[in-house]
Amino acid sequence: MKILIHGAGGIGGYFGAKLAHAGNEVWCVARGEHYAAMKKNGLQVSSTEGQFRIHSSHIINSPAEASFVDFVLFCVKTYDTESAAAQLQPVVDDKTVIISLQNGIDNEVKIQRALKKGTVYGGVANISSRIVAPGEIAETGGVVRIAFGPMNNPSQSERTQKILDCFTHAKITAHLSNNILIDLWLKFIFITSAGGFMAMSRLTQGEVLAVEEARTTVFKAMKEIEALALAQHIPIEPLEEEKVFDGMKKFNPNTRPSMYYDLVRGKPMEIEALNGTVVRLGKQLGIPTPIHNTMYAALLPFHLSSIEKFVRSATET
Q: What is the 3-state secondary structure (H, E, C) of 39-79?
A: HHHCEEEEECCEEEEECCCCEECCHHHHCCCCEEEECCCHH
pLDDT confidence of residue 317: 46
pTM of the model: 0.92
What confidence score (pLDDT) does residue 158 get?
85
In three-state form (DSSP H/G/I as H, E/B as E, the rest C), the secondary structure along the chain is CEEEEECCCHHHHHHHHHHHHCCCEEEEECCHHHHHHHHHHCEEEEECCEEEEECCCCEECCHHHHCCCCEEEECCCHHHHHHHHHCCHHHCCCCCEEEECCCCCCHHHHHHHHCCCCEEEEEEEECCEEEEECCEEEECCCCCEEEEEECCCCCCCHHHHHHHHHHHHCCCCEEECCCHHHHHHHHHHHHHHHHHHHHHHCCCHHHHHCCHHHHHHHHHHHHHHHHHHHHCCCCCCCCCHHHHHHHHCCCCCCCCCHHHHHHHCCCCCCCHHHHHHHHHHHHHHCCCCHHHHHHHHHHHHHHHHHHHHHHHHHHHC
pLDDT at 307: 86
Domains by residue range for the chain, with CATH = 2-178 (3.40.50.720), 182-316 (1.10.1040.10)
pLDDT at 49 (0 to 100): 84
Quote the pLDDT of residue 163.
96
Instruction: Pick out the chain residues at pLDDT < 70.
Output: 153-156, 310-317
Please report the pLDDT score of residue 162 as a whole number.
Answer: 94
Spatial contact of 164 and 196, defined as CB atoms under 8 Å apart: no
Burial bucket for residue 286 (CB in 10 Å: 0-12, 13-18, 19+): exposed
Using an 8 Å Cβ cutoff, are 53 and 32 in contact? no
